Structure 1
Amino acid sequence: MNVSFLQVMVFLLAGITVIILLTAKFRVHAFFALMIACFITGLGVSMGMTNVITVIKDGFGNIMRSLGFIIVLGTALGILLEHTGSTKVMAGYILKKVGERNAALALSITGFIVGLPVFCDSGYIVLSGLNKSLSKKTGASIVVTSVSLATGLLAVHCLLPPHPGAAAAAGTIGADIGKLISYGIIIAVPAMVVGHLWARYAGNKIEYAIIEEDEIPEDKTAHPSVIKAFLPVIVPILLIAAASFFNEFALTNDWIKNWFVLGDPVVALSAGILLAFNAKKKWNKKTVSLLLQESAEKAGGILVIIGAGGAFGAVLAATKIGDHFSAAFTLNTLGILFPFLLTFILKTAQGSSTVAIITAASIVQPLLPALGLNTEAGKLIAVLAMGAGSMMISHANDAYFWVITKFSGIEMKAMLRVYSTATIFMGLVTLLMVYILSLFIL
């Protein structure tokens, strides 16, 4: 297969345009949009139908092998935390520690912690009732508290596995998931902080009253203790971080190696699920069955998108796009800016952080040598840079934007002014932190 750089670029852009149009304008499921893009790009560069199908199957299968268990287990952990009331217990504990005067900060921190295993849209829906009640009780602006909660959730959603975008990018690029979680948490903290600070600055300038709604009766089900609520989140993170630490320093003790198989993300998340079950005293078969079924079904929808993203990446790799770009441009001068800007453009154009980072990872992977990022540390930096790009700009084509709008009762003008602008600052600050990190590890 001998094609020109122009031909590759034309059909690469055609594939990306199809993804954006189908997902953003026609609301086609991302799986089908990505699959159609695979065929448009593959056939456009003269790969041949049989070859395209083979490459798609290989790409889909490879990404499932590396991420399938992580996504399913992470989804199950999030659903169990919601069901047992652990998320509300964590929120209540954090509020108690920071005080009601700092309700917005408490919600930001709560969003950050709850968002580690829980997807941002689900987390916001679960905590929206607490958000409104705190705003009413403390007199804090609903715009400030809502955007603080939303940005806390978004910071970890874009940067950390088991969230689908970061997990898929790590699988495609070949970044170490343990190190991604360890460094990603550190990088996500400034993003959370800047989101909260902007919410306070801009939100307090907007006069906005809470829309009165019928009171929802309080759930009288006994909630778990603070320790039981936090353990399913903290233990997996500590296990994964510890395993990364021992791998980093190449400790060769066989006893340590045997024990720190516990730090494998699959094992660590499984431990989190067992601890989440322990957060509730009594379970019945029907409830457990329904929760696990919901977990599998929700994870299935995510996995097909990730698999299609892996397939698209495999098609792009087969076109030898990296060699073409390397010959045409001096990409090593761009470094982390290229994955950041590419993901930012895709996110802004079509709305989904997950689709943006999956698509970007497929394009960036064959370009890693040309970008000077084809090392273990470089791959990690590339994924974090794409995570930064996938934060911005969240606006009217983003489903999460409308989740916040609907469940907080904030009008669109205020959302654009406060939340959408916050995502710009979050992305830029995160990029700065990734650059600083790169100075130490590259």
Structure 2
Amino acid sequence: MDLQLILALVAGIATIVVIVLFTRLDAFIALLIAAIVTGVVAGQDLLSLIDAVTTGFGNTLASIGIVIGLGVGIGKILEVSGAADSLARAFLRTFGKGREPWAMGSVGSLVSIPVFCDSGYVIMNPLARSIARVKRGGYITLALALGAGMTLTHHMVPPTPGPLAATGILGADIGSVILTGLVFTVLLLPVVVIYARWIGPKLEPFLNAKVRHDVYSTVAAGAPTSSTSAVETITEPDGTTETVTVEATTSVRDAGTKQPGAFLGFLPLIIPLLLIVANTVSTAIDRNAQGVLSGDDYEPSSWVAPLAFIGNPVVALIIGLVLAVYTLLPRLTPRTQVQSWLADAAASAGLILLITGAGGSFGMVLRESGVGDALAEAIASISLPALLVPFIIASLVRLAQGSGTVAMITAASVTAPLIAPLGLSPLVAVMACTAGSMVFSYFNDSYFWVVTRFAGLDGIQAIKGWSGITTAVWLGSIPLLFVLDLVV
């Protein structure tokens, strides 16, 4: 084991944490600087270091950048059309009376696949308040189930940017990641509901006065009909303050237009997912029939080629976006308005794209400098299960700086060079990155403030409720990862 290379890795990760926590720079710059620091400490030639940074950035975005952009576009149309709200209400009707926490957790899981969980929670929270008002209680349980349901798919199911980026960096099959992420979500949803039902009644007496009045007043609640925002001031340990604003975009319903039904709202989600999964399954069957289970020697059969084309994530999500625009928005919606919404979606995806590319740069430097091989040797020497490496790294980075997306990308970048030496499945590595990044959401996570402020929880009660439920699903994912590792 080369100590210099291990120190290079430690220096790189420490650089990310320090820059994100203590400077005015963001994760994009932090990852690029970390890549350079790692290469320099490892003794890599400076010119080859820059080449690795640019090559890693380009290779990563070439495989995943278009998909991220299309995914957030679909999410924006679902948001502004009111289709997300229709889906939520359909789920409530399906689950029936007395199963509201299950419905809210399921609603959160579905909505958060295409819609960022911060804005998705703002959109769906009025529904939780309406249910609690009718029931005259149980709001905390519903609010936590909704938020944690969103956390599951936000962290585990593409085309959410975090798992999508990890998939691209680690070279996993996106269809397999979608299927596995959905299975993990279904299996972890009971953890969400059980924890919410256990802790909710204990925290209900601590609901702050303003939220209690808003939730249980006699004024009818509904989905937001205009710009809805939450503005929170976060006090950091050093005494500085930061204002966090979460805003839901004005809906087309404001003009009095009819809200799209749940069936139409489901189409732009389910059709791309089905096409991608069909591509994955048909390719696996064809590979098995040809006896080509791995490598680059595989040539699709004539019956597989059309499915491989329309099931390519880029084509599938183009289809989904076109469906969203032409089935969910009113026919007379101005073209300039639609283009403005899509431009907003592209803007929101911009930083994610940069961070994802920078994560690819970091991973390429780790490979080219030999740090990845050194880490693999170190893991082998202590007999640590390979799947725990991305899981632990993602957990530590999440605790240190708060962003689940940054935690996933960092863990994927570090793990990428270990895939071959340790015989680790890319699919298992992706799921370990995503699961590890869910741990103990607290003050340095903007979503913590969104959920706890809308839920009306403060101080230690917020920790017990939200930090507790995210840690519960993090713990629940560990046995699932080991089972997945045995299966694949």
- TM-score normalised to the size of structure 1? 0.93
- Tell me the SS of whatever aligns to 2:330: coil
Contact 1:321/1:367 (CA < 8 Å) preserved in 2?
Answer: no
Structure 1's 131 and 61: CA in aligned 2 closer, same or farther, altered over 3 A? Answer: same
Which amino acid is the alignment partner of residue 406 of structure 2? V
> What amino acid is aligned across from residue 358 of structure 1 in structure 2?
I
For the residues of structure 2 that align with 1:79 and 1:243, how far apart are their CA atoms? 26
Conserved 8 A contact 1:24-1:351: no
Residue 323 of structure 2 corresponds to which residue in structure 1? 275
Paired residue secondary structure (1:101): coil
Q: Which has the higher helix share?
A: 1
Q: Where does residue 428 of structure 1 map in the other structure?
A: 475
Gap runs ≥5 in structure 1: none
Determine whether 1:71 maps to 2:68: yes
Name the aligned partner's letter for residue 379 of structure 1. P
Alignment partner of 2:260: what SS?
coil
- Residues 142 and 208 of structure 1 are in contact (CA less than 8 Å); yes or no, is this contact kept in structure 2? no
- 1:245 is displaced (CA, Å) by 0.8
User: Structure 1 pair 329/297, CA: closer, same or farther in 2 (3 Å)?
Assistant: closer
**Are residue 221 (structure 1) and residue 252 (structure 2) matched?**
no
> Residue type matched to 1:198 in 2?
Y
Q: Are the aligned partners of 1:240 and 1:263 in contact in 2 as well (CA < 8 Å)?
A: yes
Identity of aligned residues (%): 35
**Alignment-derived partner of residue 350 in structure 1:** 401
Match of 1:363 in 2: 414
SS of aligned partner of 1:144: helix
What CA distance in whole angstroms lies between the structure 2 residues aligned with 1:160 and 1:319?
32
1:140-179 CA distances to partner (integer Å, 9 max, x unpaired)? 4222111101111110111122122211111111111111
Give the drift of 1:440. 2.0
Aligned match for 2:371, one of 310, 321, 338? 321
- State the AA in 2 paired with 1:293: A
Describe the shift of the 1:23–1:221 C-alpha distance in structure 2 as closer, same or farther (beyond 3 A): farther
Alignment equivalent of 2:53, drawn from 56, 66, 89 = 56
Contact 1:343–1:386 at 8 Å: present in 2 too?
yes
Aligned AA for 1:279? L
Change (3 A) 1:405 1:26: farther
Any idea what the Cα deviations from partners look like across 1:243-297, whole Å, max 9, x if unmatched? 1110111166513422442111111111111221111232211211211111111
Matched, 1:233 2:234: no
- Deviation string 1:369-425 (CA, Å, 9 cap, x unpaired) is 34321xxxx110111111110111211111111111233332232221022111122
Cα offset, 1:224, TM superposition: 0.5
- 423-432 or 407-416: which moved more? 407-416
Instruction: Decide whether aligned partners of structure 1 residues 287 and 179 sit closer, same or farther in structure 2, where only a CA change above 3 A counts.
Output: same
Q: How big is the alpha-carbon RMSD for the aligned residues of Structure 1 and Structure 2?
A: 1.9
| 8 Å contact kept, 1:56–1:311 | yes
Q: Which amino acid aligns with 1:165?
A: G
Letter matched to residue 247 of structure 1: T
- In structure 1, which of residues 406, 414, 418 is the aligned counterpart of residue 461 of structure 2? 414
The 1:440–1:11 alpha-carbon spacing in structure 2 relative to 1, beyond 3 Å, is: closer
Contact persistence 2:367–2:373 (CA under 8 A): no
Work out whether 1:302 is the aligned partner of 2:299.
Answer: no
Deviates more, 1:203-212 or 1:122-131: 203-212
Task: Describe the SS at the equivalent of 1:116.
Answer: coil
- The SS at the match of 2:328 is coil
Question: How many aligned residue pairs are there?
Answer: 434
Residues 75-154 of structure 1 correspond to what in structure 2 (within 5 A)? 75-154=72-151
Shift in alpha-carbon separation, 1:35–1:322, aligned structure 2, 3 A: closer
Q: Is the 8 A contact 2:70 2:321 kept in 1?
A: yes
In 2, Cα distance between equivalents of 1:197 and 1:27: 40
1:382 is aligned to 2:418: no
Q: 1:258 aligns with which of 306, 309, 327?
A: 306
Which SS does the other structure have where 2:213 is aligned?
A: coil
Gaps of 5+ in 2: 226-253, 290-299
Aligned residue type for 1:287: Q
1:396 aligned residue? 443
Give the Cα separation in 2 of the matches to 1:335 and 1:260.
31
Q: Mean Cα displacement is larger for which, 217-226 or 297-306?
A: 217-226
Give the drift of 1:38. 1.5
Q: Hey, what's the Cα distance between the residues in 2 that align with 1:338 and 1:313?
A: 14
AA aligned to 1:39 is I
